[in-house]
Amino acid sequence: MRALIALAAITAIAGCVAAVPIDRPSDYTAPSTLDSCGADLPQDWKDALSRTGTEVGPHEKVTVVGANENADVTLVKTTRNRTTELVLRDHGKRQQVMAVKDDAQLFGVEFDGRWVTFSTSRGPSDRTRATYAWDSRNDGAPVQIGSEGAVVLGGRAAWTAGGDVHVYDLARKKGRVAGQGENPVFLGGGVLWLRDGRFRGEGALPAQLEKARPGGNVASDGRTVVWTQGDALLGWREGWADPRELAEVKGASRTEGIVFPRVSGDFVSWQSESSYVTDIRSGATAHTSGGGYWLEVHGGALTQQGWRVAAAAPLSALSPLPQC
């Protein structure tokens, strides 16, 4: 499993952008590494995913990689016949965003309800990337904006290049350098990033974040920022007196730790050899103990990927996880 993780360069997202995708075996499942409050996956979650599921053919791979706030518009990545296609699905309509062929990769997809950002490379081991933005309202061709992967929120994209944090207004086509660091995310009306193991930003940081020591994994939905710190997943949003510990895993020396966090509303998805979903309201975390599938939050959806199924259930339809 560490060999699989070694294939990925972990960067931050307004959810989470993996610079190189991890391709887990379709039948892979792992024992829980959770060392904090745990809960079974509720039946209404399973039912909601079942209602929104799409059966996948034996010779294709389908993954829901983005959703709008209501989960009724989704971005789907499909691979079949050596072609990988990124498609926007909107109430039965279908818009192709981009397609790549043969060994070319398409990954790091982010969606803010209008704008899509994503990256491509010529092959799994090729470190040369191109990052694009696409406006779902205009159905034009994607436009290259960089080469390092980007996060997007409210029509603004952010990424790191050459040690500089770039912020770009997609509609106005104007950009600027916000500072020096890595792993930018949007929070409130501003931008945060990491430098020397601390949060940095334009202007004064919220006092609650000044003492944080984030690892390389950080994510935000614009309201809540989450990050890894040692074996724990922490989070903070405006109105909280202090950051809160959301989840913890057994010693990272025996596991891959917590990687690829994504946050949407009151839910945080993350991985530690298999997938987990934490409910910020109750403090409980559900582990996907069933065979060979993964759960992630994207926009307003809880998405499922795995063996012969892809689904996107509205987060608003999910019951809270029970408190321990």
Amino acid letter, residue 280? I
pLDDT at 254: 62
Q: Which of 243-277 are b and which e, b meaning 16 or more Cβ less than 10 Å from the residue's Cβ?
A: beebbbbeebeebbbbbbbbbbbbbbbbbbbbbbb
* pLDDT tens sequence across 9-59: 333 334 444 333 444 444 556 788 899 999 999 999 999 999 998 777 777
pLDDT at 154: 97
- pLDDT at 264 > cutoff 90: yes
The structure tokens listed for 298 are: 């994207």
Contacts of 313 (CB under 8 A, 6+ apart): 45, 48, 49, 51, 52, 71, 301, 302, 303, 304
First CA to last CA distance, the chain:
30
Amino acid letter, residue 108? G
Q: Concatenated DSSP letters for 259-273?
A: EEEEEETTEEEEESS
- pLDDT at 72 > cutoff 60: yes
For range 157-174, the mean pLDDT? 96
* pLDDT tens sequence across 275-308: 999 999 999 999 986 656 789 999 999 999 876 7
CB atoms inside a 10 Å sphere around CB 320: 14
Q: Which of 295, 314, 315, 297 is nearest to 306 (CA)?
A: 295
Q: What are phi and psi for residue 5, nearest 5 degrees?
A: -65, -35
Report pTM. Answer: 0.88
| Cβ–Cβ under 8 Å, residues 270 and 23 | no
| Cβ–Cβ under 8 Å, residues 82 and 74 | no
pLDDT at 102: 94
Helix intervals (H) in the chain:
2-5, 43-51
- pLDDT at 177 > cutoff 80: yes
- pLDDT at 97 > cutoff 90: yes
Weakest mean pLDDT among 33-47, 235-249, 305-319: 305-319
pLDDT at 139: 75
Compute the mean pLDDT over every residue in the chain, rounded to the nearest whole number: 88
Higher pLDDT, residue 196 or 28: 196
Amino acid letter, residue 2? R
- pLDDT at 4 > cutoff 80: no
For range 150-168, the mean pLDDT? 97
For range 217-245, the mean pLDDT? 97
**What is the C-alpha separation between 4 and 51, in angstroms, rounded?**
31
